[in-house]
Amino acid sequence: MKGISILGSTGSIGVSTLEVIRQNPERFKVKSLSAGSNIKVLKEQIQEFRPKFVSVLKQAHLKELKKLGLNFKVGYGEEGASEAATIAGVDMVVSAIVGAAGLLPTLSAIRAKKDLALANKESLVIAGSLVTKEVRKNKVKLLPIDSEHSAIFQVLRGSRKKDLKKLILTASGGPFLRRPLKTFESITPKEALNHPTWKMGQRITIDSATLMNKGFEVIEACWLFNVKVEDVDVLIHPGSTVHSMAEFIDGSIIAELGTTDMKGPIAYALGFPERLPSAKAPFNLAGKNLKFMKVNSRRYPCLGLAMDALKAGGTMPAVLNAADEVAVGAFLKGKLSFTGIAKTIEETLSLHKKKEVLDVQDVLEADTWARLEALKIIKKKKF
């Protein structure tokens, strides 16, 4: 029986993880849950899965949980999330908090020698060197949940690193693949939240429409698979049938295919090295769209911003992520145009004086600086 901790249990990945656990009660036991402010869903999860420890974002939320009358320990804030990740009996932590807020609990999990099933790609984007160093030092398993990286992880098993030529990440292109560029200015949050192939949380859905998500995934791939940004290609693949690929020196390309259901990569990470009987809907390859296209960089400026931030290194990717979090938040509140997202991030990056990342404090300082700077840019109502 594997003891599981879920950070971000009420989110899209958290809920899908609990679905995989529900289908495999003989293999997994939920030991702890950590969530933000969705107390209604969290209470239902506690009643069903009976964790030993529960953490919420704010202390005020704990009152509601006490009303359940059940026996479990509680915590709150970042410390609470870290405690949820590190308690005895947890073998694997599913890191699925959204944004930079996921970094410290993720590092705590690794330092407590818990295996990590990582959905929170932001920890690798903003602090890839620190996270991978801790993974090596503490000899824990790092299993990607992001579907592209799960695909590549599966494809690379059994092949030699020196035979690899490049990684090819696929991107659906989001809802605006064919929308005339000159109308991008007027894109509304409702339109941008309407992803054609995947159902996800709000922030990653907007990041998928701008392709910032793919930019983050290029950075994530570089850290996970120890490759350079020049060795990662991105192809638009509107069907999202091929989840990603690896090309080898003999010209062969190996891909992983399946439904667009995150329960697939989650079950793979939870069960690793075993494969679990599928929790996903049946998949029929007949008639599926297998088209691939190059990325039009004018349509998706965020992808280039991410690649440049990775090449620049140091604190630049942390600034990229923080500015994006703020810009996406402002766009969702109607305070910034869709095209303003990339412009705000670009301007924030251009104002940043890069520092090397020696410890987590360097990352957190750059993150705080970038949030304030991005807010100032948005307040000036330039975009």
Give min distance, CB of 129 to ligand NAD, in A: 19
The stretches of the chain forming alpha helices (DSSP H) are 12-23, 39-49, 62-66, 77-86, 103-111, 121-138, 147-156, 189-192, 202-210, 212-225, 263-271, 301-312, 316-332, 338-351, 360-379
Cα angle: 25, vertex 77, 341; to 5 degrees? 95
Classify 193 as helix, strand or coil.
Answer: coil
If binding means CB under 6 A, how many residues of this protein chain bind ligand NAD?
Answer: 28
Which residue in the block uniquely carries the two structure tokens 């579907």?
147
Helices (H) and strands (E) counted in the chain, each on its own, are 15, 11
Give min distance, CB of 252 to Mg ion, in A: 24
Classify 144 as helix, strand or coil.
Answer: strand
- 32 counts as binding ligand NAD under rule CB under 6 A: no
Q: State both tokens at 133.
A: 């160093």
Candidate residues 52, 114, 121, 214; the one interacting with ligand NAD per rule CB under 6 A: 121
The site string for Mg ion over 130-159 (x = CB under 5 A, - otherwise) reads ----------------xxx-----------
The site string for ligand NAD over 229-268 (x = CB under 6 A, - otherwise) reads ---------------------------------x------
φ/ψ region of 6 (left if φ > 0, alpha if ψ in -120 to 50, else beta) reads beta
The site string for ligand NAD over 153-172 (x = CB under 6 A, - otherwise) reads --------------------
The closest of 97, 89, 88, 138 to 117, measured between CA atoms, is 97
Give min distance, CB of 203 to ligand NAD, in A: 6
Q: Count CB neighbours of 31 within 10 A.
A: 23
Decide whether 92 or 101 has the Cβ nearer to ligand NAD: 101
User: For residues 263 and 20, is the Cβ–Cβ distance under 8 A?
Assistant: yes
Candidate residues 81, 125, 167, 374; the one interacting with ligand NAD per rule CB under 6 A: 81
Decide whether 11 or 258 has the Cβ nearer to ligand NAD: 11
Decide whether 211 or 330 has the Cβ nearer to Mg ion: 211
Q: State both tokens at 150.
A: 């799960």
User: Nearest to Mg ion by Cβ — which residue?
Assistant: 146
Which residue in the block uniquely carries the two structure tokens 């090596």?
136
Q: State both tokens at 339.
A: 């095209």
Rounded to a whole number of angstroms, the distance between the first and last alpha carbons of the chain is: 52
At residue 265, what is the residue type? P
- 12 counts as binding ligand NAD under rule CB under 6 A: yes
Q: Count CB neighbours of 375 within 10 A.
A: 18
Q: Which range touches ligand NAD (CB under 6 A), out of 5-13, 228-236, 301-309, 341-349? A: 5-13
Decide whether 120 or 347 has the Cβ nearer to ligand NAD: 120
- 271 counts as binding ligand NAD under rule CB under 6 A: no
The stretches of 248-356 forming alpha helices (DSSP H) are 263-271, 301-312, 316-332, 338-351
Question: What CA–CA distance (Å, rounded) separates 183 from 173?
Answer: 16
Q: Which range touches ligand NAD (CB under 6 A), out of 8-16, 63-71, 106-114, 331-339? A: 8-16
Candidate residues 39, 84, 87, 204; the one interacting with ligand NAD per rule CB under 6 A: 204
Candidate residues 35, 93, 232, 307; the one interacting with ligand NAD per rule CB under 6 A: 35
Site of interaction with ligand NAD (CB under 6 A): 8-14, 34-36, 38, 57, 81, 96-98, 101, 119-122, 146, 198, 200-202, 204, 262
Site of interaction with Mg ion (CB under 5 A): 146-148
